[in-house]
Structure 1
């Protein structure tokens, strides 16, 4: 394992609107061409939730309300010889859409709203499980409080 490569902390967000989840098809490496959640690196001094909401706005132009953490994934990339190239620890969140229409940006080549049970086939590894957990969080947030 390389001494210069360290895990990078990142945040992503499953934004829900009318029962659909917002996905972005990556236009750049890593995972170019795959559908995934908007997300990126956590900046120094920023909480995970702040990073998650900021990345959604920067990548696809949507404001969202973070509901909670849906899960975490390790994304470990190796070259053809098996040498470590990158390691990202992505903490994924569930969120509700607040405002804005999803649009492509510097990182997102395409955007779309999908039913959680009908995701595209070309997705990042582990995406379906994260969306399932995020959907459960979003549904729990819909339950009215007892009087």
Structure 2
């Protein structure tokens, strides 16, 4: 999220509506950039850089903004990919979190990824290497889609 517009994570608990997010599956030399989440929920789990869409921002703009803010990488979007839904319920079955995430296949342009508060670790991985990591649900399908769109990133 952009500075100044960040809301506390607790405000996203027990939502009255789904939150819309966007992410970027950045491909460079046949590898995809994954980030280990620095914040709860799912701290330490590998996923794509991304975050909430701000009012007035397209999904692609949000994905690229979040990519740059979180890890310092610049990319160009090649295609939108199949959206994912993350719905978590508490012990009573009440919706605790609900996010609709729109991933994008993107080509790396510049910047070497750097860790920070939102990314504990960063790795360029092949689709096969991603299977050895703890990842968010649906990530492997998104990686396959991105690699099918971008190819080897050349």
Paired residues in the alignment total 141
Alpha-carbon shift at residue 121 of structure 1 (Å) = 2.7
Do the aligned partners of 2:30 and 2:153 also contact (CA within 8 Å) in 1? no
Runs of 4+ in 1 over 6 A off after TM superposition: none
Return the alpha-carbon distance in structure 1 between the equivalents of residues 100 and 21 of structure 2: 6
Return the alpha-carbon distance in structure 2 between the equivalents of residues 56 and 28 of structure 1: 16
Provide, for residues 8-67 of structure 1, a one-character-per-residue CA deviation record: whole Å limited to 9, x for no partner: 110011001111100000011122110000000000000011001001001111000110
Q: Structure 1 unaligned runs (5+)? A: 143-147
What's the TM-score, normalizing by structure 2? 0.86
Return the alpha-carbon distance in structure 2 between the equivalents of residues 39 and 129 of structure 1: 17
Q: Which has the larger radius of gyration?
A: 1
Name 2:146's counterpart in structure 1: 134
Q: Structure 2 unaligned runs (5+)? A: 1-13
Name which of 127, 131, 137 aligns with 1:125.
Answer: 137
What's the TM-score, normalizing by structure 1? 0.90
